[in-house]
Amino acid sequence: KLALHSNLSGANDFGLAQLVLELDTHIQGSRVGGALFEQSALLACGLRLASLYALSGPATERPTTGTLARHTLARLDDFILSHLTEPLTINAIADAVNMSVYHLCRKFRKTREVSLWQYVLMCRIAYARRLMQRNPDMPLLDVALACGFDSYTQFFEAFRKFCGMSPRNFGRRVA
């Protein structure tokens, strides 16, 4: 079987993550879509990637004041994604990129328009969704703990916030 693995770093595009997950599900044979779906999904992924990494004009027109550099974002993403299953603190994340918590949080919010902690939760929920799709019989408490959540309640609230439904309802949809 073909499996898609993304190690894309440097940009927060939850839409792109969803496109890749849908394409992965299609390729795994869980959904019917045909060649038109595949072509459309691949084109949408390509367009999103182009918009993420395309230069928006001369360097003088790009806003860089107060934002994080791409290499810093890539280091952040690598650190966060490799530590999702562990207890993760903002202090540990800031230490990983040699920045103060204050400056990291301020610049992260300006760069990605979401708080650093919300981004960590989004990454954990995306990981949880993949676990639930690949292991539909896995108990939800085990999913929550495997994704680094302290409790099922914390997992449930974050899942509902970012997915618009409970984890149980999502599990029923993918089963």
Angle between helices 70-82 and 101-112 (to 10 degrees): 100
In angstroms, rounded to a whole number, what is the distance separating the alpha carbons of residues 169 and 175? 10
One-letter amino acid for residue 143 of the chain: V
Q: Bigger pLDDT: 13 or 148?
A: 148
Q: Which of 26-30, 31-35, 141-145 has the highest mean pLDDT?
A: 141-145
Residue-wise pLDDT tens digits, 70-99? 889 989 999 999 998 888 899 999 999 999
Q: What per-residue confidence (pLDDT) applies to 4?
A: 47
pTM of the model: 0.64
Report whether pLDDT(164) > 80. Answer: yes
Give me the mean pLDDT over the 139-158 stretch. 93
Q: Residues of the chain with pLDDT > 70: what percent?
A: 62
Closest CA to 48 of 77, 96, 12: 12
Q: What per-residue confidence (pLDDT) applies to 173?
A: 81
Which string of DSSP letters, residue by residue, matches 46-110? HHHHHHHHS--SSGGGS--TTS--HHHHHHHHHHHHHTTTS---HHHHHHHTT--HHHHHHHHHH
Closest CA to 96 of 65, 115, 73, 124: 73
Report whether pLDDT(5) > 80. Answer: no
Report whether pLDDT(64) > 90. Answer: no
Residues near 127 by Cβ (< 8 Å), separated by ≥ 6?
Answer: 84, 147
CB 100 within 8 A of CB 94: yes
